Structure 1
Amino acid sequence: SNICSWAEYNEDALIHARKGLEIGEESNSAIHKAYAYMYLGDAYRYNEQILEANACYFNITNLLMYDTTPSAYLLKMVYLYTLNPGAADFPLYMTHYALKMMRNYEKASDREKQIYAFSLMKVATAYNKSAKNEIIKQVELENQQKQMKVYIGGITILVLMSVLLYRQNYSRKKTNKKLELANIELAEANSKLADSNKELEEANELKSRFFGILNHDLRRPVGGLISYLELKKKSTNIFNEEEQADFEQKTIDMTQHLLDNMEELLFWCKSQMQNFTPVFRDIQVSEIFDNNKSFFNTESKTNFIYKIDADFEIRTDVDYLKTIMRNLTSNAVKALESVENGYIEWKAYIKDNCKVLSVTNNGPAIPQEKIDILYNNSAKENIKDGLGLIIIRDLAKAIQCEIKVETDERGNTSFLILFP
């Protein structure tokens, strides 16, 4: 039975132990019956049937209650305390048992010595099983603690990762916000730079306009003055004293007129330096015509005609309109250089509730590609002298008037300035 139990064949151990008990019951010896209960109790104990094992061990105590032989003593004491080796008094009992074994071992018989050895083996077996259970419990507890540590460590890692991810996400959002603000600032800076570049381009264009205006409006009077002076130099002996005095007076008048025009142009250019913006006011048509007539009074080759159906006012920027009229008149004068009996006619009239200023000359017709410049904002012109039609177009747009070109059946070209 014990061999089967040690080999963990527990069912076989129980079968052999029960057969041993049947044989022991047939014996009249209490010791034999006690041994039979001992083996059956051991078989139950190895099979972890503790209640059945306890009953067998108590039967041993009852059978040997009054037996004082060493064998009976050992059986009673050993198997009584193997029931609960974890009891509080188990160490005290083991000490008492060991001392008693030492006193009796020297004078014991061989049979009793075998019983002593066998009893010690039983005690060791019971103790080892108890220790094994304790170790298992301790290992399980340690495993639980380790698992708890693992769980805590895992939770800690998850918390740390969550915190790290949160901080990383927060940092990324903060960085993205800074980048967004930087992009906005960069966009604003680029916008300001673009505005500055645009202002610079406009300033350069404005400067070109001023130089063009000065070049155009001063070139012809200065040229006329030079022509008079050259004529005077070459014709010293041609004129009599009266004609000579008249010629000198015309030269003085021309010089004074040139000075007045220069002063007027310079003051106007100075007023427009910061912002090339028209200033609107009401002005009589006759006043505008008188100014243009005075500007071109040295043009003796061309006949100037000014007609006003009924004098009326125009609300406009006077300097802008004067520049447009001078440019159109200069273009007409230039077109008539090779024409005999050339004339330039300015007219002012009202048609269909629209105030119109028109200039007509009997020179050659203007090419169509030149006319297209007035209606195409992207068109460019190579200007060697004067403002050209581009500036006429831009200035007319600035003072909110319209420029039209008409050619009659005789081929005469007319430029119309229309004020709504």
Structure 2
Amino acid sequence: MESYIKELEKLRVENEKLKSILHEKDNNSINSAEEKYQTLFVELKDVLYESTPEGKLVDINPSGIELFGYDSKEDIMKINIADDLYFNPLERDKLIEKIEKDGFVKDYEIRIKGKKGNEIIVLETSFMIKNNDGKVVGYRGIIRDVTETKKQEKLLRKYNEELAELNEQLKLSEGELKKVNEEKDKFFSIIAHDLKSPFNALLNLSEFLVEDLSDLSMDEIRSFSKEINKSAQSVYDLLLNLLQWAQIKTGRINKTQEKIELSKLVRDTLIFLENIASKKSIKIINNADDLSLIVGDRTMISSVLQNLISNSIKFTKRNGNIFINSEEKDDKIIVHIKDTGIGISKENLNKLFKLDEHVTTIGTANESGTGLGLILCKELLEKNNGKIWVESIEGLGTTFSFSLEKA
């Protein structure tokens, strides 16, 4: 019996030694885990925190103190999270509501307010802390600063938008360049075609005069000279149209905005045209309002008037009339140039002002034309914020109208 008791005592001693060893190991493990946690807590670049339901901090690591701009842990521990770290305190209520609904949040984006009022954009991952009764007693989480990342993303979006806009502009520019090239080819084609006739006339008539001058009467010489002059005038008009078109398309035409007295501009333009009209006994009546003031480039608008009035003279028979009227409409001055000429067919009306729908008609005295003058009128008026349109009844006459800004 005594040996049995000694054996039990020996087992008890060994058991105590074993318990002591195990307890020491547990403490070492706990201490080791605690040390690792503290190291992580201190050295982690992200913010680690614990807070109460009421919005007071229980603990926060050095990264949080630095990120939010506080001087010390004691300083930041005094704050109220909702009031001091949120631009809108209701945002914290939304976050807490989501945590309590789902049990946690992951990478929840929040705008945080630094101590100096600066904006800090963060992603928060956090969860609830409950006691043994299941009551929420706090929140614990990790916060990552993504302010710089968000700035870069915003900048990248801006650059992408600008790049997309530049691409669109490039596409438009390519389209416009293609259109201009097509218009240029068409314009040169028309010019080349229409220059051929007057140049042929100049060459043939001048050659005839050189070779047979001694055999011609004065009336014949005068007749040939008139035809040469007419051909030379046609060539000049074509070259003038070409020059104006080139200036418009290359942007080298200088535009000066000024107040212009419409009636006087019409009178000045008619000085160059009345002689041509008188040869066909055409009467031009200028009813443009003396008080009408327009805004635009004097040279361009004079060119428009000259082209349109010349057009009316060309397609009006002898003893016809041309009326020039104006009216005010809202903030515009409308000018009407009406003739009693041959008019324009419905088919050709739709082709006017279009370079790809070339329309040429011989005048009532066999005057030649290219149809380019009307296209130039449209371009020049658009340069001055104006518009042009036409109404015509074949056999009765035509009215060209254009609008310009009122001074």
TM-score computed with the length of structure 1 as normaliser: 0.48
Whichever of the two has the greater Rg, that structure is 1
More helix by share: 1
TM-score computed with the length of structure 2 as normaliser: 0.49
More strand by share: 2
